Structure 1
């Protein structure tokens, strides 16, 4: 059933990752030039892997436990991505002015929040199915 609320949450998490890659600079220096560019293989790998894992979770809507595990893997990938961003922003050199961090640093956090909400909805569905099975 693709019309469940957790599917919407997972789609929003994928959209946050796609927006991270397409539209927003991740970290910009004082001159406005992007410091983390789209040629960073770890960043690209985390974004693509996160989107693939979340898409696989959406397509496994009949297997709620696998969907729950895939969402947790997606959360871990987003934490790695967030760690890369924090590391890169802390190791910027030569800044004399206040650097302007883009919204890209917040997008993995937004994706993590949507995945946690999706996991709560999956857990609620699983509890509902278990309660109905007890009544039989």
Structure 2
């Protein structure tokens, strides 16, 4: 059913990765230039794929195993995006002191936590269905 708690978790992940990167900054460099996700095709495409996977996972509410696998794939993509953010932060010389990090860098971390909570709820539902089938 679509009104379960994992749908709420995945919906918040969808909002975090599909809407917020356009409104919150990723970082501000030493020149005062504010960078958003729409400024880089790499970040924009990764945020788009993550939000698309969250939407597909929400719409497959009848197939819990597929939902579980899609969420794991989404977690991996969030780790990749987080790795690109960390690489960008640490690769430029003096970048850790000069630029100001925005809240957008932490969006993949929040998405990972929400997707792990969604997978835990999906696993709980799957265990409940299996236990009911055993009683028949």
TM beyond 0.5: yes
Deviation at 1:91, TM superposition (A): 2.4
Deviation at 1:38, TM superposition (A): 2.1
Range 23-32 or range 59-68, more displaced: 23-32
Shift >6 Å, 4+ stretches: none
Could you say which structure has the higher helix fraction?
A: 2
- Measured on the aligned residues, the alpha-carbon RMSD in Å equals 1.9
Number of matched pairs: 136
Q: TM-score, normalised by structure 2?
A: 0.91
Deviation at 1:20, TM superposition (A): 3.9
Which runs of 5 or more structure 2 residues have no equivalent in the other structure?
Answer: none
Deviation at 1:18, TM superposition (A): 2.5
CA contact 1:20–1:26 (8 Å) conserved in 2: no
Match of 2:41? 41
Deviation at 1:33, TM superposition (A): 1.6
CA deviations 1:27-68 (Å, max 9, x no partner) are 212343225652322211110100111100000000000000
Which runs of 5 or more structure 1 residues have no equivalent in the other structure?
Answer: none
Distance 2:82 2:95 in 1: 21
Distance 2:95 2:47 in 1: 27
- Look up the SS of the partner of 1:106 in the other structure: helix
